[in-house]
Amino acid sequence: MIQVPSRPNSPTDEELNRYILTRYALLGIDISVLPESDEDAPMDQERLLEHARSVLRQDAAAADFAIDPQLHLPVAHPAPFTAWTDEQSP
């Protein structure tokens, strides 16, 4: 019997935290020098991880946006692109 793929459960905060810290460590970035939780500090680990989890979840949500790859090419600089592609009449 062939197994039908199912959508995995959404990762928990703890699972995402491990993923995030592993990614930072892989790049050689140490966030342990930040206070763990201190709302008076300019930044702490708790706020940083909360934001990072938000970025990851938004990143996953972007996958749901359908966009025609034939009609809408990726363009880094849209406004000058109108000139570079001769979208300006003489």
- Positions that interact with another protein (CB under 8 A): 20, 23-24, 27-31, 33-34, 42-43, 47-48, 51-52, 55-56, 58-59, 61-63, 65, 67, 69-90
Question: CB 5 → another protein: shortest distance, Å?
Answer: 19
Residues contacting residue 17 through CB under 8 Å, at least 6 positions apart = 49, 53
4 vs 63, which CB is nearer to another protein?
63
Question: CB 2 → another protein: shortest distance, Å?
Answer: 28
**Count of alpha carbons within 13 angstroms of residue 15, beta-carbon side:** 6
How many angstroms separate the Cα of 27 from the Cα of each of 4, 21, 33?
36, 10, 16
